Amino acid sequence: MGWWNSIVDGVGSAVNWIKSNSGTIGAAASVIAKIAGAVAQDDDDPVAQLFPNFTKAAQKLNELAKGGANAKLKEVLNSIPEYSMNDRMVNLQTAEATLLADSTFLWLDPAPLNRDGQPNKGLVQDIGKMLAQSSFSTVLTSSGEGKRKGSRSLDVALAIGQAIFANMGTGAEQANDDGIVLAPFDISYDDVGCRITGCHAYYQIPLGQTGANSAWHAALAMSQTTTENYRKYEFARTRDVFFTQPIRTDNGNPQWLVTMSVPWEESVSAYTLSKGLLGELTSNDIIQDGWHLHYHSLDGTDQHIKVQCPDGHTPAQARGLVRECIKKVLKNSGMLVSASTSPYLTPDIHITMSVLKPGDSRS
């Protein structure tokens, strides 16, 4: 799955996954053929037609998701008072999400909801990655003005997950005549000048095996409408967790340049904790030990770090440095539990690239 936790994207990859993981491929192929609107002939084999039928089903999902998203966006824009639309300080702008290559994908987890009714962590993290991929807000933070005092934040991916999977597995889950379930949504928060609207379209593919009884072929279309003031705020917020500086070239010895990914549990805490980790990695103690932070950014829940090692240090030692810094950040943050009340554990740190940078012979 690569970057994703619970998703296979791309028609070819999805079809191959279904073939490899279906205990009853005939049943899966028949459902996909029905969604595609294929007219069965006596000598037709739905398994042989799996790829073209899946492609047609993907196109239908994409059209329905975009249609639902456009209808919801129109409804929201029509509800905004005319004076707000004409206010130059408001200056509403709407951007469409740039999601996966063909805008459809497979949800692989057969249990989107936990016992408490919350969508499971893998699904939420993947929705957060979709938001970040489109440069959409992953966290909405209120100013704390008005009746509700104190700044508060909303995890946008979690809110979308709660909306699109609300009826999963219940009698309220109504499919259209084709067997596709539509779930439009509208996410806003207090006085924040950002509104994310969209629609999720999906149908279940039976797999007929114990490990996973079904997967969901889905499409998700989203738009983000923002005010001018919010865009200025979001630009400043993004800049707070972005850092880059040139690679050091003042040493004659080869040094490792190590790229790492830190997957935080959810978006609200990820912003606070990534800022803390950025502070640790640029502290005087770290710099004096010869470590050099080259790049830092945050995409949803994924923090990206590129560190240049001191002479004689390895990529594994760079990973160990980041782990110790994370432990310190967690301890100092007071975040002993996450928003879901589970104990915060040190997240896994994935080394995604290690490059041995040649030394400068002129040094």
Residues sharing a CB contact under 8 Å with residue 100, sequence separation 6 or more, in sequence order: 7, 9, 10, 130
Q: Is residue 60 domain-shared with residue 140, that is, in the same domain?
A: yes
Average pLDDT over the chain reads 82
Q: What is the mean pLDDT of residues 76-94?
A: 67
363 is a domain residue: no
| Domain stop point among 203, 236, 269 | 236
Question: Does residue 336 sit within a domain?
Answer: yes
- % of the chain exceeding 90 in pLDDT: 33
Q: Based on the domain organization, do 179 and 276 belong to the same domain?
A: no
Could you tell me if 194 and 249 lie in one domain? no
15-19, 64-68, 345-349: range with lowest mean pLDDT: 345-349
Q: Are residues 41 and 136 in the same domain?
A: yes
Say what the pLDDT of residue 363 is. Answer: 46
Does 146 have pLDDT greater than 50? no
Residue 210: pLDDT over 80: no
| Gap between the Cα atoms of 354 and 341, Å rounded | 35
Residue 20 has pLDDT above 60, yes or no: yes
**Element at 132 (helix H, strand E):** helix 121-133
Q: How confident is the model at residue 337 (pLDDT cuts 50, 70, 90)?
A: very low
CA 90, distance to chain mean position in Å, is 28
Same domain (yes/no): 208, 253 = no
Q: Is residue 340 included in any domain, yes or no? A: yes
Strand partners, 350: 261
Note down the domain range covering 26.
7-236
In a domain, 279, yes or no: yes
> What's the pLDDT at 301?
83
With respect to residue 277, please indicate whether it lies within any of the assigned structural domains. yes
Together in a domain, 264 and 130:
no
Same domain, 185 and 293: no
| Pair 76, 177 in one domain | yes
Q: What is the pLDDT of residues 98-128, one digit of tens each?
A: 665 556 899 886 566 677 777 888 888 889 8
Which amino acid, 152? R
Q: Is residue 340 scored above 60 in pLDDT?
A: no
Domain count across the chain: 2
Mean pLDDT within 64-79: 90
Any idea what the CATH number is for the domain that residue 308 is in? 3.30.70.1290
Give me the mean pLDDT over the 330-342 stretch.
61
Let me know whether 174 and 271 are in one domain.
no
In this predicted structure, the answer to whether residue 157 has a pLDDT above a threshold of 80 is: yes
Whole-angstrom CA distances from 50 to 55, 61, 112, 176, 342 are: 9, 16, 25, 22, 42
**222 and 287 inside one domain:** no
Residue 305 and residue 347 in one domain: yes
The gap between the terminal CA atoms of the chain, to the nearest Å, is 43
Banded model confidence at residue 350, pLDDT cuts 50, 70, 90: very high
The whole model's pTM is what? Answer: 0.78
The answer to whether residue 1 is domain-embedded is no
pLDDT at 308: 95
Domain boundary at 193, 210, 236, which?
Answer: 236
Domain boundary (191, 220, 236) is at: 236
Highest mean pLDDT among 100-104, 190-194, 204-208, 314-318: 314-318
C-alpha span between 200 and 167 (Å, rounded)? 12
Predicted confidence at residue 171, as pLDDT, reads: 55
Same domain, 221 and 345: no
Helix or strand or coil: residue 342?
coil
Q: Tell me whether residue 362 is in a domain.
A: no
Contact 222, 134 (CB under 8 A): yes
Q: Is residue 116 part of a domain?
A: yes
pLDDT, tens only, 40-57: 554 567 788 899 999 999
Share of residues in the chain with pLDDT > 70 (%): 82
User: What whole-number distance in Å separates Cα of residue 266 and Cα of residue 301?
Assistant: 6
Average pLDDT estimate for 147-170 = 77
